[in-house]
Structure 1
Amino acid sequence: MTLFDEAFGVVPEGVVNIDLDGDQELYVDSLRILRVHDEDFDNQDAKLNTWAYMAACDAMLDSPQDYQHLQRLLMVPREVNATRFGLGAGKPQGNGTSAPMLMKVFRMLRQIEGLKSTEHPESLLTFTPRFGPDRYSDLLTNIMARDFIRFTQRKCKRYNIPMTKGHKMNVFNPDTLEWEMLTDVELPEHNGLAILLVPKDILVSEYQYTAQEYVNHDILEGRKLFYVRDGRPLAKREIFKIETEDILHDKFKTYALAEAVREPKRFVGFLEKRQTLIG
């Protein structure tokens, strides 16, 4: 285990003192982008990049001639190991997801009245099967990778941290709306592996808008009242078992999506409340 300050003698302000030899269970949170107030990070540009990605995916759904382009865009790039964030070795990874699966979820989001996917990329995490916190964080990291590269370079220059050129980084290009591989990126490194710094204020140890959160804290609370009025006071776990008995896979996400379509104001309110709590 080698911490960043042990390797370089300093930890830049606004950065986690990461273990350079392993992963930390921290995730990039789209709701926290504008909470980052650091002169070395362009939070507005990062927010616009995320908006551009979501807007492009949504717009291409209606364009048959853009089908291949959309598929490329929805092929979530590999984990950005340079951040040292995500699930560590031995933790369950899942099988990932597919472009058609994400495409289906984008279409489903349109059924939730009042929800704008451009404003709520977190809804992808809530509803997409086999798309857990690590996959969602990977997607956000790739979308904002260019901003994180600039952030890293500015911090290193400010704190006289040595960098080397020649590192490869996959980034989202908002002009071409394509994933783009940069091949000569200047970054610090440890044991020959690049290091990508991320503002600590954009990171969380867990997301507050998973399907489980929505089901347990919003949907089932409401359904409890229904069952009480029906003369059947039940615990939330009993209600969930009853209402998902016909769902064979991804019970939480499938149930959450069906309920969000049925009661869209509840789901939009759920997301807006989380945004308000973050500030």
Structure 2
Amino acid sequence: MGKIKSPATISTQFNIDLATLDKLGVVNVLLNTDTLVFIDPLLLEESSHIEVSDGAAQSYRQRFSQIIKLLSVSKEENDIAWRNAKRLFKFSEVSWTCLGYGTSVRGSGFGKDLISTTLETARQIVSLGVEDVDLFMALALFEEGIGPDRISDMTTNIIIHDLVKFSQTINKSLQLPTKQFKVENTVYDLVENPYSSQPLLFVPNDIVRDLPIASDWSDISRVVRENEELRERVNNHVGEIWANMSKKQKEQLKNRH
């Protein structure tokens, strides 16, 4: 991993006191390289920031609820329901939060092959779970190759508009100059990262964890274990969302008859 000669943080670049950022609950990220933390989706509901505990947590649940709805009615690969589920599974690289393992401000995201294999796994889980809700809790959606960096990018994609709202709330206090940036199909006034000329999204410090880092060869097994444990927790959480969704659908069907 290369080294950044002169790392710049939010506090140093914009001359903001660290205590101010801490009081606002903002991660003091590195602006010209990735900061070695990741967004853990399991922390969203417990955040002290309403844009996250209400908005982002709901966005996350809604995304996976929409995916199960679409896959449960899909009859074959590439029909309209399948294509829309695939669209919801496109988690591109996210650089605006400055989080991750890289030495340039970029994300990892889900590539085409990873999207296809994960969506196929989701389809199989849904087809089994529609008949037996308990199976949602036992079957793993995310398999090897999906670690904290990708889980963080996935979550950021899903909650991007909630992070924008959080960033705008924070900047009401910081009063930093803004520019207009297009986020998906909406234009927002956001702070610019001077090192990338892209928008800078502030990240709440109560939804991040440290990325697992191996200090030497003997430490690799610990990192692998931590990645597996995170993946299992996220799988269980998605399974719980899908199980609750399926139970609601079955209750609605019963009430119609």
The TM-score range, normalised by the shorter chain, is 0.5 to 0.7
The question of whether the paired residues in 1 share the 8 Å contact of 2:90 and 2:115 is answered with yes
1:58: which partner in 2? Answer: 68
Aligned mate of 1:107, from 123, 143, 146:
123
**Cα drift, residue 129 of structure 1:** 4.1
TM-score between the two structures when normalised by the length of structure 1:
0.61
Query: What SS does the aligned partner of 2:27 have?
Result: coil
**Given that residues 192 and 198 in structure 2 are in contact (C-alpha distance below 8 angstroms), is that contact kept between their aligned partners in structure 1?**
yes
How many pairs were matched up?
201
| Identical aligned residues as a percent | 24
Q: Secondary structure at the match of 1:186?
A: strand
- After TM superposition, give the deviation of residue 135 of structure 1 in Å: 1.6
User: Are positions 1:98 and 2:114 aligned together?
Assistant: yes
Which residue does the alignment assign to 2:169? Answer: 154
Note the C-alpha offset of 1:133.
1.9
TM-score by length of 2: 0.66
By how many angstroms is 1:24 displaced? 0.8
- Aligned to 2:189, the other structure's residue is in SS state strand
Residue 200 of structure 1 aligns to a residue whose secondary structure is coil
RMSD value, Cα: 3.5
1:192-236: per-residue Cα shift (whole Å, max 9, x none)? 2211011110001148xx9845978xxxxxxxxxxxxxxxxxxxx
Letter in 1 for 2:55: D
Letter in 2 for 1:17: N
Asked which structure has the greater CA Rg, the reply is: 1
Q: How does 1:220-259 map to 2 (within 5 A)?
A: none
Q: Distance in 1 between matches of 2:163 and 2:224?
A: 28
CA distance 1:94–1:37, change in 2 (3 Å): closer
Out of 183-192 and 104-113, give the one that drifted further. 104-113
What SS does the aligned partner of 1:44 have? Answer: helix
Matching residue's letter, 2:42 = L
Is 1:2 matched with 2:16?
no
Residue 208 of structure 2: aligned partner: 203
Q: Which runs of 5+ in 1 are unaligned?
A: 170-180, 217-252, 257-266, 273-279
Structure 1 residues 41-190: aligned runs within 5 Å: 41-64=51-74, 65-76=80-91, 78-89=92-103, 96=111, 97-110=113-126, 114=134, 116=136, 124=141, 127-165=142-180, 167-169=181-183, 181-182=184-185, 184-190=187-193
Report if aligned partners of 2:107, 2:153 keep a CA contact under 8 Å in 1.
no
Using the alignment, how far apart are the partners of 2:61 and 2:27 within structure 1?
Answer: 26
Letter aligned with residue 38 of structure 1: H
One-letter identity of the residue aligned with 2:172: K
Report Cα offsets for 1:17-57 as digits up to 9, x if no partner. Answer: 11111101211111101221135x34112111111110111
**1: distance between equivalents of 2:47 and 2:60?**
15
SS at match of 1:17: coil
